[in-house]
Chain A
């Protein structure tokens, strides 16, 4: 079977090369035959990669230890669902997942545009095929998942215990769907330059693809945060770890693009800048993979380090150089068509919002890579972690929060003084009011105050926008309010979907503020029957017991929790010692409500038999997760705008 897997990947490599060749011939000669053949080759890569993936998954689930990858990442006592997810536990498997998603994007792209005869779409597919060559060659010649052991061991090494979590079943594929998907906007951008294509139609298509990838990447990042919250057991969910930062950077630049692309669509401006953002987003997603795989930086999220870092670095350099050269070569194509009427306009605010998004990305990039740079220059090791990012990124993010409220309300072209006053007076008042209400509850410090003001300001502007729109519809159609609201969103999905995304962003800001500023912490060694207090909760240790679960021995504390004297729940923080890894893993106990999370950790069992219980109250954490869901809903509404475009195209036809 391993030979079939190797052959499938090698054929995928050949097909990728053939696809590029066929597209080049077809595009140069204008003949339809080679282009059709190139398209079929992309489909073939997808099929062959799927075959290779199925073969590897089969070996993982069957625990076929003749495969080195299977022996390294599974064991006989590993639950089957984790044997399946060990596909992305190691380097070779996750590269295969990368290629699978990449080729699926290639196939999906060809399916979406199967009726378009424009060779421009073949040029896009050619760029995708070029990237496929890189990944198929890595998997065929450098890092094959189908390597065989001369003497298979009786049992494997097992899966890293941190990855034995249900969240890990979906977090990596969703994150990768976002990461890898940025290939399509990148391919569109390069194809535009190669084909010397003008017009704004392609930019609308890129916007939809970017929205899709952006949504998946954002949701994947939040799932990773949720995983860290539950699995790492330090009371938080975002530690500004290099791998977390690596996923955040393309998301930030992608967000900047989703804003600036609106200016290009409406005013024919920022063409060069948009192409730069597209290229940067893709390069940063490859850089993220490089960080995770190279071992250049240590990370709690990095599970598969190897020596393939230089390959990725080389790919980034080559693709970045080609893209830069093309942008310079086609400078004339990217000239702005329009002029601006006023600085105080939506275009102006979007431009500043772009500066801030890119600045935030730059700060994150600098902080993430600076330890390597500093060591190279000074010779001494340093760390750049959460204390740095909290001080540098937070003020930039807060200015962005303010712009989230300001930008969408400003009109295109020109916003007059009276317009600004009419739109911002009430939101500013609501912001001040919210701040004053929060101060007696312990709101202190510049950043928290700005955050509360900004959040209330944004919510007020969004609510006012909806209210104005509903009123306008009622004036025309006079339906009941809920129907008017529905019609409003249906009529302009892009605009109101965007507002919903902004509400999700505000929810995340509120959640982060609540759980960081108002977090409470207590820890104590407890003997059975003893209690400790944290906030309104009383925690009484009932007993500690050792128990055997499928592939680990678990020390579990039974803690009775009451709130204001009323019995609330029994919580079981525990430590698990996995048979294979032989390292203690923290299993957090969580009691979540909309207002706050009670988060318990079993620090360990002391020599005197007492259990060290560490407790946190994390207020408003639920807002972070709910904010993510709201953002997804808003993005889906934005993407549903495609229906309108299709209708318009039909009418045009």
Chain B
């Protein structure tokens, strides 16, 4: 039971990772200007996502994107021009290449490792013998018993004090 479940989850994670690298925002599908501006950050100190930025720099960049689209330029071309002018720092998400690929891959790899560990732990626990059956005569006092005794002792102490 556990192996197919883990495989299913791992496949879902691979799909999610590849979708993450390819997905375009829902708003972007409807509006090509927004498809570009929602992926960029205003280079001034406001630090807002360009599509929602109302500062002067932001508005001028939004205007630039609209003008370039009207000229028939594509998303990649416009983004490259803006990045060339302001630097990689204006990309809202780093390009998935070189060292920066790590930030895209690690969350999914970590989740997958987490699932594998959880599955292994579960497998071990399910296969473990019930200690109550192993040596009922020597069974140590359970934590519930200890808690009950502690509560009784405290209540009695309270009674003595009052």
Contacts and interface: CB of A to CB of B under 8 A. Distances in A.
Interface of A: 115-118, 198-201, 232-236, 239, 241, 268-269, 298-300, 336-337, 339-344, 348, 351-352, 354-356, 358-359, 362-363, 366-367, 370, 374, 377-378, 380-388, 390-393, 395-396, 399, 444-448, 516-517, 519, 521, 586, 601, 603-604, 612, 614, 649, 652-653
Nearest to B141: A198
A393 B93 CA distance: 13
B28 to A, nearest CB: 10
Given A359-B114, A385-B41, A387-B25, 19 more contacts: A115-B158, A118-B150, A198-B143, A199-B150, A200-B143, A201-B150, A236-B52, A343-B1, A356-B111, A356-B114, A370-B94, A383-B89, A383-B92, A383-B94, A396-B107, A399-B12, A586-B54, A649-B151, A652-B148
Contacts of A348: 122
A421 to B, nearest CB: 15
B49 A381 contact: no
Contact of B49 (A339, A340, A386, A614): A386
A393 B89 CA distance: 21
Interface string B36-74: 001101000111110011100001000000000000000
Contact of A519 (B27, B92, B123, B147): B27
Nearest to A203: B143
B22 to A, nearest CB: 9
Interface in B89-143: 89-94, 98-100, 102-104, 106-108, 110-111, 114-115, 117-118, 121-123, 125-126, 128-131, 142-143
* Highest count of chain A CB atoms <10 Å: which of B34, B146, B152: B146
B145 to A, nearest CB: 9
* Highest count of chain A CB atoms <10 Å: which of B2, B94, B151, B154: B94
A383 B115 contact: no
Contacts of B16: 395-396
B144 interface: yes
A390 B32 CA distance: 18
Interface of B: 1-2, 5, 9, 12, 16, 19-21, 23, 25-27, 29, 31, 34, 38-39, 41, 45-49, 52-54, 59, 87-94, 98-100, 102-104, 106-108, 110-111, 114-115, 117-118, 121-123, 125-126, 128-131, 142-144, 146-148, 150-152, 154-155, 157-158
Nearest to A355: B114
A343 to B, nearest CB: 5
A62 B128 CA distance: 68
Contacts of A614: 54
Contacts of B9: 352
A116 B161 CA distance: 12
Contacts of B158: 115, 653
B59 to A, nearest CB: 7
Contact of A234 (B54, B59, B128, B157): B54
Contact of A199 (B31, B121, B129, B143): B143
A300 B151 CA distance: 50
B27 A516 contact: yes
B157 A200 contact: no
Contact of B151 (A362, A377, A396, A652): A652
Given A351-B118, A390-B25, A603-B59, A343 B150 contact: no
A299 B48 CA distance: 10
Nearest to A198: B143
A387 B94 CA distance: 9
A200 B144 contact: yes
* Highest count of chain A CB atoms <10 Å: which of B114, B117, B142: B114
B41 A300 contact: no
Given A200-B144, A337-B143, A355-B114, A653 B152 contact: yes
Contacts of B1: 343-344
Nearest to B159: A653
Contacts of A374: 94, 99-100, 103
A388 B29 contact: no
30 contacts: A115-B158, A234-B54, A298-B45, A300-B48, A340-B128, A341-B126, A342-B126, A351-B118, A351-B122, A352-B118, A355-B114, A355-B115, A355-B118, A358-B114, A370-B100, A374-B99, A380-B88, A382-B88, A382-B100, A383-B41, A385-B92, A385-B93, A388-B104, A392-B108, A396-B107, A444-B29, A521-B34, A604-B54, A652-B151, A653-B152
A236 B27 CA distance: 13
B21 A117 contact: no
A118 B38 CA distance: 57
A234 B115 contact: no
Contacts of A359: 107, 110-111, 114
A586 B59 CA distance: 14
Contacts of B47: 241, 298-300
Nearest to B151: A652
A359 to B, nearest CB: 4
Contact of A388 (B88, B103, B108, B114): B103
Given A359-B114, A382-B89, A601 B54 contact: yes
A117 B102 CA distance: 52
A139 B77 CA distance: 53
A359 B54 CA distance: 34
A384 B93 contact: yes
